[in-house]
Amino acid sequence: MAKIIAGVATSHIPAVGAALDLGKTEEAYWKPVFRGYEKAKSWFKEVQPDAIILIYNDHASAFSLEMIPTFAIGCADQFKPADEGWGARPVPIVNGYPELAWHISQSVILDEFDITIINKMDVDHGLTVPLSLMFGQPEAWPCKVIPIAVNVVQYPPPTGNRCYQFGHAIRRAVESFSEDKKIVIMGTGGMSHQLQGPRAGFINSEFDRNFLDKLTQDPESLSKISHLTYVTEAGSEGIELVMWLIMRGALNESVKEIHRHYHVPASNTAVGHIILENV
């Protein structure tokens, strides 16, 4: 059967993608940000998963106010990097995994998580920046990717608890796929940040560090954080952290923390990154 062997979380700051694409990773501002991802690069080389299930959010690139799926899964063969207004990022096309994606769709829908099925979709910085952080600048991404998009842009986003439970359903789905495949699940976005209004630039490191601690040790408690708490404590875009709970919900109760990176600032955001292996 297929198995989720580990989960990885990371911020998806678009300026990080620009820094990489423009060759600025060695500059003083960016160096400490990228240094924290060296471990992920060597870890992925060692682990060599067959596929990544990548939980991310679209930022009005593929979707818009005309269409707002709460949860959506990409079942296509390929996903093109999106043009977010300044041309598509110069990164490889993302190869999907239609067989497993359709299997997950069927499994989670029959498990009462009514996910939207997407057969054509471009993917924005929410998905491509995490891949760049994990793999650098290869000619082709080293494994298949199943994008799962979550609405954290337009109120109301799903609750943290719903996301955590959805993670459990994804795990059941993967474990009922008959082929022996090694899967890594990624949760992206976060950590605390606010891009708008009088509190723009708001960062709460205490909230972030506690979130990282609990993600490993007590994810159930994180699943109870309300939308209002995310906004007040983690900033209006801190709500992206619910996507980390999908990743965590797909892992065992007991996990081993392999690596952690936390750095402020990068653009308007606290950079957070963690690798958790199932034990």
Contact residues for ligand DHB (CB under 6 A)?
Answer: 12-15, 59, 189, 193, 195, 237, 267-269
Separation between Cα atoms, residue 80 and residue 84, nearest integer Å: 12
Calculate the CA dihedral of residues 132, 135, 136, 142 and round it to 10 degrees: -100
Q: Between 143 and 186, whose beta carbon lies closer to ligand DHB?
A: 186
Catalytic annotation present for 125 = yes
CB of 193 to ligand DHB, least distance (A): 5
Q: Between 15 and 117, whose beta carbon lies closer to ligand DHB?
A: 15
Q: Between 105 and 128, whose beta carbon lies closer to ligand DHB?
A: 128
Is the Cβ–Cβ distance between 243 and 57 less than 8 Å?
yes
Q: Between 118 and 266, whose beta carbon lies closer to ligand DHB?
A: 266
For the beta sheet containing 255-266, the strands, ordered from the edge strand earlier in sequence to the opposite edge, are: 116-118, 71-74, 144-150, 51-56, 182-188, 3-10, 269-278, 255-266
Spot the catalytic one: 12, 59, 125, 261.
125
Name which of 38, 18, 24, 50 is nearest 141 in CA terms. Answer: 50
Crossing angle of helices 242-249 and 160-175, in 10° steps, is 30
CB of 239 to ligand DHB, least distance (A): 10
CB of 190 to ligand DHB, least distance (A): 8
CB of 237 to ligand DHB, least distance (A): 6
| Active centre residues (catalytic) | 125, 193
